[in-house]
């Protein structure tokens, strides 16, 4: 495989850190992003940046032809669960229909390696926790449905074109490097906790206090974004055939109230909370069964202790209290 990588969605939260690590390991990177959710300031100055969407066939054909792309890392998707419930057609248009345009352009260009940013949302409400990769896929929100649909397209392309792919089913990406998490609207727990700690929001909204968990709040498996990015690079470097799927998690779950309490210790701030009704499409508990990514990729999370995640996020939000510049 050559060393020129196209990162679709490379101006986003996870994409920016994937690009950071690819550059550190000597790859040549091209970023494609329409900046509808990403930030130009999150794109390293050492990469070629193409402003465009994954559903634009003309842009894609030009990028693949001009740059001689060896492999594709696809992170360009809408990823807000509540928004997907309210606007499912928007999610299927971008995450599935536009994603198919990207896949077809890659096939025309002879690209035979793809790493896909999937999600634990493909599992829905699991019948058992921790969740192994062979657990039933039964998404409970349109976001998860679109991720599962793209995974199925990768199986089709493996059969039709010989595409070798690895779908990385992240659990909850969190933390920061020199790049951090900034969405508008922000629905993710840890950045909202940091906004409260900075005095930019009055309280952390706790969506659901009656789940069947130890304190009634939702439980999630948090993985440092740098560990997730490391898995992407490793996935590019292993020999695979067909369409593989791997969980990226730690095997440890923390409730919303666990995270808030740990953030109080890290920041030294009070961080009040406010109980709210459950959000549609949120399962009670999502924790990864781990091991398969270690066996295939040699991957182990190195920075994903909850306190280390929170320390890195706090550092970034203190230096970027308003997020990235507009």
Q: Which of 175, 176, 177, 157 is nearest to 167 (CA)?
A: 157
CB distance 232 to 73 below 8 Å = yes
Beta bridge partners of 288: 131
143 is known as an active-site residue: yes
Number of H helices, E strands in the chain: 11, 14
**H or E segment and range at residue 106:** helix 98-108
**Residue 204 β-bridge partners:** 273
Q: How many angstroms separate the CA atoms of 304 and 285, rounded? A: 18
- As a whole number of angstroms, the distance between CA 227 and CA 175 comes to 10
CA atoms within 13 A on the CB side of 124: 12
> Residue 210 burial by CB count (10 A; 0-12/13-18/19+): exposed, middle or buried?
exposed
- The DSSP bridge partners found for residue 72 are 6, 114
The CA distance from 152 to 243, in Å, is: 9
* CA–CA–CA angle 169, 287, 21 (5° rounding): 45
Which residue in 13, 143, 207, 254 is the catalytic one?
A: 143
**Residues that are catalytic:** 143
């Amino acid at each position: 495989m050559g060393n020129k990588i196209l990162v679709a969605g490379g101006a986003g939260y996870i994409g920016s850190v994937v690009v950071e690590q690819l550059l550190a390991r000597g790859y040549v990177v091209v970023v494609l992003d329409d900046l509808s959710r990403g930030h130009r300031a999150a794109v390293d100055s050492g990469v070629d940046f193409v402003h465009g969407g994954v559903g634009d066939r003309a842009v894609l054909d030009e990028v693949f032809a001009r740059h001689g792309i060896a492999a594709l890392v696809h992170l360009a998707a809408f990823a807000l669960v509540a928004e997907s419930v309210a606007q499912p057609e928007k999610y299927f248009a971008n995450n599935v229909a536009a994603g198919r345009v990207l896949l077809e352009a890659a096939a025309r260009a002879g690209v035979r390696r793809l790493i896909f940013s999937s999600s634990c949302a493909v599992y829905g409400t699991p019948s058992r926790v921790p969740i192994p990769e062979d657990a039933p896929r039964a998404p409970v929100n349109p976001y998860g449905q679109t991720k599962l649909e793209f995974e199925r397209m990768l199986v089709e392309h493996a059969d039709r074109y010989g595409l070798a792919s690895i779908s990385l089913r992240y659990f909850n990406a969190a933390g920061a490097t020199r790049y951090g998490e900034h969405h508008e609207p922000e629905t993710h727990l840890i950045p909202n906790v940091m906004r409260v700690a900075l005095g930019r929001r009055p309280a952390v909204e706790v969506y659901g206090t009656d789940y069947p968990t130890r304190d009634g709040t939702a439980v999630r498996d948090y993985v440092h974004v740098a560990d997730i990015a490391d898995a992407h690079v490793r996935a590019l470097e292993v020999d695979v055939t067909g369409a593989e799927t791997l969980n990226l998690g730690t095997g440890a779950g923390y409730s919303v109230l666990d995270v808030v309490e740990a953030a109080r210790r890290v920041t030294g701030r009070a961080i009040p909370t406010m109980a709210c009704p459950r959000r549609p499409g949120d399962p009670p508990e999502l924790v990864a069964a781990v091991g398969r990514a270690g066996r295939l990729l040699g991957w182990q999370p190195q920075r994903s202790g909850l306190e280390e995640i929170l320390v890195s996020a706090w550092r970034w939000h203190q230096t970027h209290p308003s997020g990235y510049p507009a």
